[in-house]
Structure 1
Amino acid sequence: MRLMLSTAVVLGALSLAACGGESSGPVTPKSAGGATPPSTTSNVTITGAGASFPQPIYAQWAQDYNAATGVKVNYQSIGSSGGVKQINSKTVDFGATDAPLSKEDLDHNGLIQFPTVIGGVVPIVNIEGIQPGQLKLDGNTLAKIYLGQITNWNDAAIKALNPDINLPDATITTVFRSDGSGTSFNFTNYLSAVSAEWKTTVGAANAVKWPTASSNSGTAGKGNEGVANFVRTVKNSIGYVEFAYAKQNNMSHVSLKNKAGNFVQPSLETFSAAAKADWNSVPGFGLILTDQADANAWPIAAATFILVHTKPADAEKTKAALSFFDWAYNTGDDASVKLDYVPLPAETKALIRESWKQVVDANGKPVL
């Protein structure tokens, strides 16, 4: 079976069909970070594109921000590679990526980068009778599944990790991303950390040559939503998505063995445990949070990032975009938690707001 799913989700400020989150209703604009939201009568529309990982929370924030200010935020979930391409070509007001850009790339393209929330990439399965969190896997076994070396659910390696589960004698179908994806980057970065063979033969990138792609046991879907759709409909399949997609689709995620040797479940607590780091230690706040050593850390935790130009062609639109994220930092934490994302610490938000001073208008003055 060789399938290809192509989905493009365009998120307006009033459209949450793909999100599944509940609106918190109209809110009063705040400006603790120094930004003043546009007037509630504003006809401004902010455009962004990129990672599907944060799509649920960006959609929720967009709805709430529109209710509070009248400003619309249209976000296209097209994958991290697409988001980088769009911001570099200056066709959007902000780009979004889950794979942080290096300082060299940021400087070369005249960009700044900052994180918005932290979440987790989770393996999901469609195995009859298996409940969320019931199936246990370790990194080496997960890598062998995606290398095509473990092809059946009742393989001895999987049974050894799950002696109390009646696993079927059924071929495993691996599901992966067809598009350039920060979710894929974080997933393959983790597999590279736990499997020397994966690191040397496949590696970590937004797009890789999937070992099972040339066989009948590999299937590609576009976006987190595409992978979730395939796993939901293909029996005995395994895929990887941002945790919110797994919860919204009532899918069975797996429990993973972390670097400390503990089997952990994806949750706000385990994502937070993985995010205990010095955000200012890396240019552009570009921390990679996979395979952290904390005893409670989820092994495939990840931040998601925004990209804007330091010298934008339209300073007012970029100001509006930064005002949106300033509002989200002030007002959007509750929505983040409801959708199983970890808000950034207040001190990190302060550092990010300071970095926004690099974004200047034609006269060299900060836009915000």
Structure 2
Amino acid sequence: MPLSPVPRVLTLAFGALFCASLWQPSMASDPIKIHGAGASFPAPLYQRWFRDYFVAHPNIQVDYQPIGSGPGVNSFIEGRLDFAGSDQPLSGELAERAGDNVLQLPLTAGAVVLTYNLPGIDELRLSREALVGIFLGSVVRWNDPLILAANPGVEIPDLPIVVVTRVDASGTSLVMTRHLSAISEAFAKQVGESQSPAWPALLLERGGLIRGHGNGGVAAFVQATVGAIGYVQYAYAHLPRMQIALVENREGEFVSADSDSFQAAVENFRTKLDLSQFGDPEGAGAYPILSLSWLVTRLGGDDAKSQAMRDVLRYALTDGQAEATKLGYIPLSGQAVSLILQQLGPVD
């Protein structure tokens, strides 16, 4: 069976909710252990799912380590993991290395946000020009005219900007650089879309770049560094109540990261069915930096581990979707869930 990134699901995969897990594993003397690793983007949700599933099925233990998309996918391909988390479906060389019988399922969607550390600045607006300038290294201080222009009346301090990025190959970096490339030809030429972007020398030369492991590492550096700004999956900034910037969308609106702005982007995407908008959705009130998150695995036949893995995935796609909103993710639509469940095969 060839690699299946479920292209039809991409046109449906953002949206509402829905439910019901079916296969019930029999209790066994030895627990079934399933090991996964990869993207830190979905880690808070994955870990909630696997904990809740274990409570209901104590003989099924699923472990997930957020080591980054690149290392996780490579470990899976090399046969050291049962599944990997990735912020894009495998393609090209990776798909060839993975071989046949690989199943790729989008399990949730989420937003990448800009979290910053400026004490006393509860609302910060970042225009597209300012955002690109920060990550290209041309906007070096917080009181730069480009930032002040979008924040009239706000006393923004004269502090150097410290940009916090990922040190590991990261789907979150891919999402962020995809957006910056979509809104800036200069960024697309100098940096481009990448899981491991080569950030401009301007940032390095002035000591304005810090690199962290995983979304958690980026968030921790931002929290510890006054004047810092970094990109993380929404949950990593939202749950610890970190400062999150309002960003300018295609309509010229400054939108906050919340369920309303996520839904506005989702609804427009589902209406237009245009994948080229993925890096910068249209629509009034739409949040502009979104991504799907994928789980990559191999499912065998009727052995106990394969059956357990199927049921864990059914739980994540049904009852587990209700947890997505609570943790700051975007649940899949009922139509998308139905399509994805077909990829898992019949329930025994």
Place the TM-score, normalised by the shorter chain, in its bin.
Answer: 0.7 to 0.9
Deviation of 1:40 (Å): 5.3
Partner of 2:80: 91
2:62 aligned with 1:62, yes or no? no
SS across alignment from 2:74: helix
2:169 aligned with 1:175, yes or no? no
Letter in 2 for 1:164: G
2:36 aligned with 1:48, yes or no? yes
The whole-number CA distance in structure 1 between the counterparts of 2:77 and 2:301 is 12
Partner of 2:239: 248
The whole-number CA distance in structure 2 between the counterparts of 1:77 and 1:287 is 28
The whole-number CA distance in structure 1 between the counterparts of 2:182 and 2:292 is 17
The answer to whether the Cα contact below 8 Å between 1:288 and 1:302 also exists between their aligned partners in 2 is no
The answer to whether the Cα contact below 8 Å between 2:239 and 2:327 also exists between their aligned partners in 1 is no
Q: Which runs of 5+ in 2 are unaligned?
A: 1-18
2:217 aligned with 1:229, yes or no? no
Partner of 1:6: none
Partner of 2:312: 324
Q: 1:19-52 deviations in whole A, cap 9, x for unaligned?
A: xxxxxxxxxx943xxx504235571111111000
SS across alignment from 1:342: coil
Deviation of 1:272 (Å): 2.6
The answer to whether the Cα contact below 8 Å between 1:185 and 1:206 also exists between their aligned partners in 2 is yes
Tell me the TM-score normalized by structure 1.
0.81
Match of 1:295 among 284, 288, 301: 284
Deviation of 1:79 (Å): 0.6
Letter in 1 for 2:305: K
The whole-number CA distance in structure 1 between the counterparts of 2:277 and 2:104 is 14
Cα separation, partners in 2 of 1:287 and 1:98, compared to 1, 3 Å: farther
Partner of 1:146: 135
2:337 aligned with 1:349, yes or no? yes
Deviation of 1:320 (Å): 2.0
Deviation of 1:254 (Å): 0.2
Deviation of 1:82 (Å): 1.4
Q: 1:177-214 deviations in whole A, cap 9, x for unaligned?
A: 00000000000000000111100010011111111245
The whole-number CA distance in structure 2 between the counterparts of 1:103 and 1:221 is 28
Cα separation, partners in 2 of 1:46 and 1:213, compared to 1, 3 Å: farther
The answer to whether the Cα contact below 8 Å between 1:66 and 1:72 also exists between their aligned partners in 2 is yes
Cα separation, partners in 2 of 1:91 and 1:172, compared to 1, 3 Å: same
Cα separation, partners in 2 of 1:314 and 1:92, compared to 1, 3 Å: farther
The whole-number CA distance in structure 2 between the counterparts of 1:288 and 1:326 is 29
Partner of 2:126: 137
Match of 2:150 among 145, 161, 165: 161
Displaced runs of 4+ in structure 1, greater than 6 A? Answer: none
Partner of 1:195: 184
SS across alignment from 1:352: helix
Deviation of 1:221 (Å): 0.4
The whole-number CA distance in structure 1 between the counterparts of 2:240 and 2:256 is 17
The whole-number CA distance in structure 1 between the counterparts of 2:293 and 2:285 is 21
Deviation of 1:249 (Å): 2.2
Tell me the TM-score normalized by structure 2.
0.86
Match of 1:123 among 110, 114, 121: 114
Q: 1:225-254 deviations in whole A, cap 9, x for unaligned?
A: 000000000010100111111022221000
* Matches for 1:27-46 after TM superposition, within 5 Å: 30-31=20-21, 35-39=22-26, 43-46=31-34
Deviation of 1:331 (Å): 1.1
The whole-number CA distance in structure 2 between the counterparts of 1:287 and 1:65 is 36
2:325 aligned with 1:337, yes or no? yes
The whole-number CA distance in structure 2 between the counterparts of 1:107 and 1:256 is 38
- RMSD, aligned α-carbons: 2.5
Partner of 2:8: none
Ranked by relative contact order (alpha carbons within 8 Å, sequence separation 6 or more), the top structure is 2
Aligned residues: 322
Cα separation, partners in 2 of 1:270 and 1:162, compared to 1, 3 Å: same
Partner of 1:308: 297
The whole-number CA distance in structure 1 between the counterparts of 2:47 and 2:39 is 12
Letter in 2 for 1:238: I
SS across alignment from 1:343: coil
Deviation of 1:157 (Å): 0.5
